[in-house]
Amino acid sequence: MDNVRLLTSLVLLSTIILSPGRNGSAAAADQCLACHQSLGERPSSLFKHDVHFEKGISCADCHGGNPKAAEMEKAMDTTAGFLKVPKGDAISRTCARCHADSARMKDFGSSLPTNQWALLQRSVHGGLATSGAEHIAQCTSCHGAHGIFPKTNPRSSVYPLNVVKTCTGCHANAALMRTYNPSLAVDQLEKYRTSVHGMRNAKGDIKTAECASCHGSHGILPPTDVNSRVYRANIPNTCAGCHSNAAYMKGYNIPTDQAERFERSVHGVALLQKGDPGAPSCNSCHGNHGAVPPGVESISNVCGTCHALNAELFSSSPHKKAFDEQHLPECETCHENHEIKPATAAMLGGAEDAVCSQCHSPSDASGAYHSAVVMRSMVDSLKSGEDSARALVNEAEQRGMEVGDAKFKLRSVRQAWLESRTVVHSFDVNRFQKVADQGLAAALEVRREAGDAIGEYYYRRIGLGIATLILTVLAVALYLYIRRLERKPHPTSGPGRPPG
């Protein structure tokens, strides 16, 4: 230690002796820089290229002290305002003295935003560090202290090609990250490198997505925060910032309609309009950091994370092998990828608009076309069987008959129909027929029960009618009889009465 002091003192001495700044015009020069440069240390050599240096800002603007004093003791006198090396939150506060003060920034001729400190404090990085005494990230965590460049300068630590290194300096450091949040993944860098974004970034493409293009920079929030750029429902917008911008994406030769079409899809409506927590967002299919389109042979796995049964059936169906061999994108071939519409029976069968007829025709050597037609007719009879059974149940109910049991059975007809829509993915007529037959049998039973109830109703109506008729006849007869009795000549009546 003493040796170092001695050495610096010697260097210092020579500097002071050799320094041209001791007299005349150079007195105005930055003595801090002049002396420190001669010490040959990093801060001053970096600072020579720093954006702040270019703006005429001195070491003293951040560290305090007197930049005009050539002697070390005077220049770095704490009683004269020298702040030493800022630590913890004092670092960001140092930067905020200018960067959060728009008037001061204007004085330097700058019109940069002045919200970085405010945003940073509210961000996930504004949480308390493990020391408990300061925020997790200071301005210097991402920008450094002395070699600061405008973000458009390739030497800047936040230039698109350097951001990844800057963020993953912490985020790929498992030991560091564990001290904060042991459950937080540290594989972002690893995955990002395998993505189209990461591979292009590594090759020097500054337009592709890096950490800050998806997460933002100063106001980064956890994905669970509804204001986060990577909150599920906000992700389509975040990706669309580039992917729906045709001018920006010009030259990449990929479509720019993914977000637009996704918003119209059954998934987009569920996510963005119904707020369905189970609905997918862009990252459900593309991954968070490994944003690659799923390969044609793995699409069913992606969809299968939610539609497990469909994927399972598809994988053991004759289509799996046939599609993979022809490089057809599995589920996407029939359902699309971004603009997935509600599935209907119209997709099935031999009609022109059915998806099956895109590949199968009556002249097919295999039984595929025939199977499609048969399956469609089964769905149709299942639907019409359900409809007519439901109509009968309703009629019986309206007539006040007890139909609880039939109504319950009606549910199993619907269940069979729903199941058939999934089982269709086996593309196996026999298997499909088993499900359809169960539904048809149940529909038949419901119709019988409801029919019986309606029959019973009429039976009771007729019974009631006959009973009413008999009673009416009896009543009329009784009436006539009474009248008759009344009309009989009274034994005490006068002789003038004509004989009856």
Cβ distance to ligand HEC smaller for residue 359 or 441: 359
Cβ distance to ligand HEC smaller for residue 291 or 450: 291
Cβ distance to ligand HEC smaller for residue 58 or 454: 58
Distance of alpha carbon 266 from alpha carbon 39, whole angstroms: 67
Residue 486 in tokens: 């009344």
CB of 415 to ligand HEC, least distance (A): 12
Place of tokens 């045709």: 246
Distance of alpha carbon 170 from alpha carbon 167, whole angstroms: 6
| Residue 451, amino acid | G
| Residue 287, amino acid | G
Distance of alpha carbon 215 from alpha carbon 125, whole angstroms: 12
Report the sign of the C-alpha dihedral through residues 348, 349, 350, 353, in that order.
negative
Distance of alpha carbon 376 from alpha carbon 354, whole angstroms: 10
Cβ distance to ligand HEC smaller for residue 350 or 390: 350
| Residue 80, amino acid | A
Distance of alpha carbon 258 from alpha carbon 239, whole angstroms: 9
Cβ distance to ligand HEC smaller for residue 263 or 449: 263
CB of 472 to ligand HEC, least distance (A): 56
CB of 22 to ligand HEC, least distance (A): 10
Cβ distance to ligand HEC smaller for residue 161 or 292: 292
CB of 79 to ligand HEC, least distance (A): 13
CB of 426 to ligand HEC, least distance (A): 9
CB of 442 to ligand HEC, least distance (A): 18
Produce one character per residue of 171-197: b if its CB has 16 or more CB atoms within 10 Å, e if not.
bbeeeebeeeeeeeebebbebbeebbb
CB of 91 to ligand HEC, least distance (A): 4
Cβ distance to ligand HEC smaller for residue 14 or 472: 14
| Residue 186, amino acid | V
Q: Are the CB atoms for 499 and 488 separated by under 8 Å?
A: no
CB of 63 to ligand HEC, least distance (A): 4
Q: 447 to each of 233, 297, 299, how far by Cα in Å?
A: 46, 45, 42
Distance of alpha carbon 380 from alpha carbon 350, whole angstroms: 13
Cβ distance to ligand HEC smaller for residue 309 or 473: 309
CB of 95 to ligand HEC, least distance (A): 3
Cβ distance to ligand HEC smaller for residue 43 or 447: 43
Distance of alpha carbon 101 from alpha carbon 113, whole angstroms: 10
| Residue 500, amino acid | G
Distance of alpha carbon 299 from alpha carbon 85, whole angstroms: 55
